[in-house]
Structure formats: C-alpha cells, structure tokens
Structure 1
Amino acid sequence: MAYKSRIVQIFIFIITNFFLLLIIDSASSQNILTIESRSDPATPEDCSNRWIHIRNLPSRFNLDLLTNCSDYPLFDDFCPYLANHGLGQKTHIRSRSWYRTDPLLLELIFHRRILEYPCLTDDPDVANAVFLPYYAAIDSLRYLYGPDVNSSFQHGMDLFQFLRSDEPGIWERNMGHDHFLVMARPAWDFSQPLNNDPPVWGTSFLELPEFYNITALVPEGRPWPLQEHAVPYPTSFHPQNLTYFEAWIQRVKRSRRTSLMLFAGGGGIGSAPNIRRSIRNECENGTIKNNISSSSSFNIVQRNGVYSKLCHIVDCSNGICEHDPIRYMKPMLQATFCLQPPGDTPTRRSTFDAITAGCIPVFFEELSAKTQYGWHLPADKFAEFSVFIPKEEVVFKGLRILDVLMGIPRSEVRRMRQSIVELIPRVMYRRHGSSLELRSKKDAFDIAIDGALQTIKDKLGDTLEH
C-alpha cells in the first residue's frame, strides 16, 4: 500500500508540474491573455501606476526546485502538497474550497495567481514594478537542511549574477528598487550575518548588499523596517466562486460558540515558565475568579447558555495539524476566542485560521501580528477585532486569561466577531481561476500586490529626491 501511495504522489506531482510548466511558459513568452481564467482584461486607464513585468527566469530558479520535493528528510516531503498549483490536495473528494495547503508553497501559489493579474506588461520599461518568480524558500532548503548548509552566504548570488548579466538594463534602471519577490519563510531564516563563523541557522539572502533594494514579501518580518513586508500565511480555505465564499461566511455567522477560548498548538509541556505552559496550566486547572466558588463559576456559565467549556486545547504537537484543517477548524468555529501565543517565532499561521473561522484572536506579543501585517490587518483597528494580553503579565504576574476574557462585555464580543467576519476576505488566498464575482473582493494576494506597488512607488520617489 505504501508503494502504491508513493506512485500516486509521484503521478500527481508530474501532472501538476506539467500544467504549471505550460502556464509559466506562456507567461515567459508574454501570452498572458491566453490563460483560460482571464475574463476581465483591464484597460490602460485601470492599470495606471499598476503595471507589473514578470521577469523571465530560468527554470532552475523555480520549477526545477520542485523536483527536489522529497530530498530533505530532516524537513519534510512536500511532494503531496504541490497539487492544484501549490494549494495541495483537497481535504476530501467533495470539497470545493478546502485544501491541504503547505505554507512553504506560498511562492508557487503567488506565482500562479500573478499570471492572472490584469495589468501585466511584456515591456519592463513601462512597468511600475518587476516581479521575480524565484522560489526562495524552497531553494533555501538545501542550505537549511541539505548539502550546502555551510555555504548559506551564497544563497541568492546565482540569482543576482543572472539579473546583472541577462538583460541587465532591467535591473540597472532602478538598481533593484522596483523589484519584488515572495519568500515563504520568516525573514529570520534569510538573515544570517555574512561574517558568522561558524554559520548559524538561516541563509544570508536578506543580508546581501546586492539585495538591499528589493521588496520581499514574507509571512513574518523583522521588527525593524528593512526590505521585507509581512503578508498572511496561506490557510486551507481557497474558494473559487462567490457562492462558496458566502456559504462559508454564513456558516461562520451561524456557528454556536460553545467554548470560551481555544488553543490549537503544541509546546508548553516543559518546566520552564513560558506563555504556552501558562495556557496549558490554566486550561487544565482553570476557574473564573469572581468571588464565587470554583464549582459554581462553571455552572453559572452553563446556566447562562453561553459556554459549555471554558477552555479547549487542540493538541497539534509534532505538526499533526499542519495539513489537516479538519482537526482544528471545527473547534475554532465553536470557540469565541482563539489564543495565539508565540512559538519559535512571534507569528502563527493559526492567526489566519482563527480569523477564517470567525474566532477572535488573543495576542500576547505585538510582534505576533500588530507590527507585522499592516497591509492586511490595520494596526489602528486591532482593538476592534482582537484582544492583547502581555505575556509577562500572565507568566510572571499571575494574570489569568480566563478572567480577562470573561470580563469583556457580551455586546463588545458581538462587535468584535462582526469585525472578524469582515476581515476574512482580506486574509484568504482565493483559488486561481476564480469567478469574476469573487474577484471583486480583494483577497490577501490583491492587497499584497497593492502594498508592494505602493512601497516601490514610495522608494522610487525617495530615490529621486535624493
């Protein structure tokens, strides 16, 4: 059976690679309008200051990298998730909007989607921005987990040499200020100092002076404003038309929220004090402090018909939830608040899963979202759709998360949930080839493109001023 399963995976990969190659070949020859999903060609007036040129890169910078999908056992075998142009296989045979999406394939998803962008030009001289279809995160695996681990300072140099030698005028026109790309790993993974000896974790792509001018779209940026901008992690929700999208929105609105708070994740089982351990302790032993006995506090909640469970933990240890949204989406639909403690890095894909489920995110660090996703989650409106509890107050000063959340008035909770529902289209990546009606709603891709274009415009303006 394992042998047959492997054969099926290889067949799916070959078919996916074949059709993607056809699409990218058409893009390379600038036959963009022949893509089947194109049904809304833009006029020159619509595209004013929005023209994008896709740089024609050799396949060694993108498609060829996919052929190594099973070569990194210390990382994972991502071959099964290449289907549907990076969205992954459907969660079940009747699924219309849900896929087993791997965040690493955001580069592939983005590449497929930009081929449908209505303002593409084959003339780089009239373009307002140049997109590099380079699968940087996939290429980085050979430095992070593969044979080139001790030469990670070389990551990106091959690309730079190509940009300077093949049609060098495209790069030299603005010395890279008008170029952007997607990198489907946190910026920290590309930020190893060039002079580290011995090397530490990561590659040095974002530390190379050659790439200081580019705009990099990453799922997590560093605290200081450099060349990267954070965009949402891809969830598993990728509707293809307005009917499927609106059906999900109605389900989110109708869902009964029977749990006060939920944590979907791993960690927190060690002895060292940290926010995840505090969450687990509170969930296992939690009661509400409001001058009544612990036994009656839970019954009062029950009698009010609000919550049958104060805290629900979905154990996602060892990555068991990563490609199985069924494990956590149903519990998220049943929870009012979804806790988003930092892990190895401040951000979590779970933040966007929670928003998709209409579950109010609870943050413990501002780096987890507020200072990251300004294009998609406006920082000045965070109080309208999320709760912030400093992790130090919980871990070291005894502040109880349950008490904070139960202290929020019901009317305020209802307003926050409505705000969350309005955010869902902004954090989803709709399926490529989606209907014209659904395209009228800007999704995470559309907003990222708008942000990149504005960033490049501002950078070029500053360059001219100086």
Structure 2
Amino acid sequence: MPPPPTTTFLLFLLLIFQLLLAGGVSSQDTDLESDCTDRWIHIRHLPPQFNLDLLANCSEYPLFDNFCPYISNHGLGQKTHNSSHSWYRTDPFMLELIFHRRMLEYPCLTPDPNLATAVFVPYYAGLDSLKYLFGPEVNSSFRHGLDLFEYITNVDNPSIWNKNLGHDHFLVMARPAWDFSQPLSNNPPIFGSSFLELPEFFNITALTLEARAYSWQEQAIPYPTSFHPPNLAFYESWVNRVKKSKRTTLMLFAGGGGISSNPNVRRSIRLECENVTSMSTNGTGYAKFCDFVDCSNGICEHDPIKFMKPMLQSSFCLQPPGDTPTRRSTFDGFLAGCIPVFFEEISAKKQYGWHLPEEKYEEFSVFIQKEDVVFKGVKIMDVLMSIPRAEIRRKREKVLEMLPRVMYRKHGSSLGLRSKKDAFDIAIEGTLQRIKSRTEEIAAQHYVLE
C-alpha cells in the first residue's frame, strides 16, 4: 500500500477543496434558467470541521483503516497504474468526497436558497462517524449530528432550514444506513451512531450506500467502483472490450466468508464451486463451471485487477449477502458485463430503485432464493445452465445498457460523456423529484389548514 500523504500534501488538498468551494458560482449567470426549472440547488456553507478538516484525520482510526491513500483525486484514489486514464483504487467510503466534487460542477447551482428546489449539505457524515465507530467518542455515538444540526438551524442563516423544516435538505452518507441507526436508548452503545435516529433529522433526505428496508429518510445509491472515465472515448473503449470478452466460465464468486460450518449461502456457494470443478464441461460451451476469487480480509477492495479479468470471462456473477445485504461487487460486475445473480431482494431490487428500476430486474439479473440453496438442495449451476443462450445474451445487453447508470464518471469529464446520465446524475434527479413532491405535499396541507 502506498505511504500516507504528507502533512504538506494534505494541506494542499484542503486548499484545493477550499478554492473549489469558493468558486462555486451561480449557474444563473449562464442563461440556463429554462433548463434549470425545478432543478436549482443551493449548497449550504459549512465550516471545515464538518468536511475538509476530517480529511486531515485520515490515519487516526487504526481499527478501521488508514484512508489517506484514497482521498487523492477528490476521493477517486490513486490510479491503478501511471498510464491509466479511467481506473483508480477507489474506496467506496470516499463517496462523500466524490459527490461533493461533482456537486461543484452541477449546472444549476444558485447562491439564493429561496430560489432552490433542494439544499445540499456538504457534510462528510461517514468520515465524521469514524470517531464514534472506531475512535475516542465510541461511547458518545448518540451525539453524532447534533453539532451539525445546531449549526444549520441556529448559527448559519436558520431561515434556510426553517423554510421547509429540512424537507428540502439532502446529504450523502457513505456507509450503510445501519451504521447510523443505533437506537438512542442503547446503553451501553452497540456498533453504530444514532444520526438517523435523531428526530432532528427525520425530515432530511440521506443518500446512503445501503438503505434500511422500511425507511422514509434514506435512499440507496450505487457504491463507487474503480472505473471513472474522463471522456466518451475511454468509456466506449471499455464497453467494446466488455462486448468482445469471451465468457469461458459459467459463474464467478468474488468475495470472502463461507468458511464457517454454519449453514449460509456463501458456504453453499463455496462448496458447490469446489464440487463442480471436477465435472466435465464437454459440450457446454464453457471451459469451467465455477471460478472463485478469494477476497477475504479486504484484499480486493482497492485492486480491481484481482477481480475484473475473471468477471470479464464469466457469464454470471454471484452476489450473496454478507455482513449486510448489499455489495460493491454488484456494480463491479455490471462494469464487466457479468449478469448478477441475487439471493435476497433486499440485496439490490429493494435498494437502488432510482438507478436499477425494480420492474426491470428480470431483464438483467437472475434471482435464486437463498433458503432454496442452503436448505432445499437447489444447485446454482443447474439453474444457470437451464437459461437459454439467447436469454443470456439479452440479459447481458441489458446489463451493458444499464452500465452508465451505476458508474461515477470522473469530475471535469468531457461534454460527450456528460450526455450519458451516470450514478450522480440519476441520484440528483431522484433527490429533486422526491423533495419537490414532499414540499408540494406539505404546502398543500398548509393550504387546506388555512
């Protein structure tokens, strides 16, 4: 792993961020009023303690990780190799930085909160949560967010919040929502902070890597992958490579776990994969039925080279739940044109409705109930081998069609690539629609009461 950045480098990075923030001029100067109807966003000014200063603490949480190497390139991380243009060692927990940088080039920013449909809060909630999850304030996790609430409601122009009592505010939280959902009554605290349990934030929209099953606050958006193309040519070059890749393996599992003797779907996948390696593939069109990339202990997290080539060679990528239902690997598989196989609906179908519409899941994925695999003897290979080749081709074509929707292109990308809506664009569209609907409903209720 590369050495952590020097203090000088960190200060330089902070300065770059501050210059970008200072340069966040209104798009009202660009004659875009007609294109920006119902799309204006105001970015709240926050002191650096809520974002930039948190980057300087990147090596202070040894139980978590030293995330210093991953804050470069505005959260994309370092390039996988010097000549790379699109591939980075991206840590998904850096989504707050990535999103913030992209917000600064959003075309419909306004300095006037009264003209805005939505208000973005550039708070690095996931990074700030580390002191409650792994750091010195682990026993004060119920306080996470209270300082922010005090600032935006009592210190910095309270009228912005009071206009809609926070219903028009949104932020990004680069961790699963479960990590922010510890009940306030827990004593002693368990793992997690209580940010999303605070009544003060019940009205805010939180964009998280994974949402709870029944929540009115958060909406899941895709995990960042390592692919961030800067222009249309690099994007199309990768898509052409994916299309031409020979799928010599039926199914792939890239991940860890499954070594326990207790019944679970990862264990079943490992055992099946071991058993089918000795089976003859003659006449099947595949060189092997199953491939396994061992990503135990996080060894694949920042090294896409370990899993992208096997994914490119596989027809299906198995996406079993782990500690939580969702996986970054789902989106890595999309990049490789590898058809996802889900074992729980909460793993994706009930999560990413903005980016992967629920009604389209059968068009680009396969679903096998995990209980059928673990307890009823259903073999994954049998299910996949029963799918006609023509249907597999249609599913892969749909995966490639959906690919732009789950990637985060590089900030400052070319105009041609910006014509394709990526994960950021769709997250903003969904947020604006959600907030507009909510504020209109509240206004209608007030009108009836009057």
Aligned pairs (5 A) from 1:184-223: 184-223=174-213
Q: Root-mean-square deviation (CA), in Å? A: 1.5
**For residue 278 of structure 1, what is the aligned residue in structure 2?**
268
Q: 1:90 aligns with which of 79, 82, 100?
A: 79
CA distance in 2, matches of 1:278, 1:392: 10
8 Å CA contact retained: 2:3, 2:69? no
* 8 A contact 1:354–1:361 mirrored in 2: yes
Deviations 1:87-139 (A, max 9, x none): 00000000010000001110000000000000000000010000000000000
Assess if the C-alpha contact under 8 Å between 1:259 and 1:307 holds in 2: yes
Equivalent of 1:369, from 348, 366, 376?
Answer: 348
Q: Does 1:437 align with 2:437?
A: no
- Alpha-carbon offset, residue 26 of structure 1: 2.4
Q: 4+ runs of 1 displaced by more than 2 Å?
A: 5-18, 30-34, 297-301
Aligned to 1:6: 3
Choose from 150, 153, 156 the match for 2:145: 156
Query: Of residues 304, 308, 328 in structure 2, which corresponds to 1:349?
Result: 328
Alpha-carbon distance, 1:13 to partner: 3.6
Structure 1 pair 162–139 and aligned structure 2 pair: CA distance change class (3 A): same
**How does the TM-score come out when normalised to structure 1?**
0.93
Match of 1:394 in 2: 373
> 2:141·2:194 contact (CA, 8 Å) conserved in 1?
yes
CA contact (8 A) 2:204 2:217 kept: yes
Any conservation in 2 of the 1:42–1:118 contact (CA below 8 Å)?
no
Q: In the alignment, does 2:35 pair up with 1:81? A: no
How far the C-alpha of 1:9 sits from its partner, in A, is: 5.6
Question: Deviation digits for residues 323-362 of structure 1, max 9, x if unmatched?
Answer: 0000001110010000000000000000000001100000
2:94 aligned residue: 105
Contact residue 16 and residue 84 of structure 1 kept, 8 A: no
Q: Cα deviation per residue 1:245-283 (whole Å; 9 max; x = unaligned)?
A: 000010010000111000000000110010000000000
Counterpart amino acid of residue 237 in structure 1: F
In structure 1, the gaps of 5 or more residues are: 35-40, 288-293
* Cα drift, residue 19 of structure 1: 1.5
The 5 A counterparts of 1:16-415 are 16-27=13-24, 30=25, 41=30, 43-165=32-154, 166-286=156-276, 295=279, 297-301=280-284, 306-415=285-394
Cα contact 1:13–1:82 (8 A) shared by 2: no
1:463 aligns with 2:442: yes
- Match of 1:48, SS state, is coil
Q: Is the 8 A contact 2:26 2:109 kept in 1?
A: no
Q: Which residue of 1 aligns with 2:401?
A: 422
Output the CA distance in 1 between the equivalents of 2:251 and 2:47: 49
Residue equivalent to 1:37 = none
Distance in 1 between residues matched to 2:160 and 2:222, nearest whole Å: 29
> Residues 204 and 226 from structure 1, CA distance in 2 versus in 1: closer, same or farther, beyond 3 angstroms?
same
Cα distance in 2 for partners of 1:59, 1:212 equals 24
**Aligned AA (2:332):** D
1:446 aligns with 2:402: no
Amino acid in structure 2 at the alignment position of 1:269: I
Unmatched 5+ stretches in structure 2: 446-450
Contact persistence 1:32–1:116 (CA under 8 A): no
Kindly provide the amino acid, as one letter, of the partner of residue 438 in structure 2. K
Q: Find the residue that maps to 2:241 and give its secondary structure.
A: helix
**1:243 is aligned with what amino acid?**
A
C-alpha distance in structure 1 between counterparts of 2:31 and 2:228, whole Å: 24
- Determine the C-alpha separation between the residues in 1 that align with 2:106 and 2:31: 9
Distance 1:13 1:405 in 2: 49
Q: CA deviation at 1:14?
A: 4.0
CA deviation after TM superposition for structure 1 residue 299, in Å: 2.2
Q: TM-score, normalised by structure 2?
A: 0.96
Q: CA deviation at 1:7?
A: 6.6
1:33 CA drift (Å) = 9.2
* Cα distance change on mapping 1:160 and 1:245 into 2, 3 Å: same
> Paired residues, what number?
444
Which residue in the other structure is 1:290 paired with?
none
Q: Which amino acid aligns with 1:18?
A: L
**Distance 1:42-1:196 versus aligned 2 partners, 3 A rule:** farther
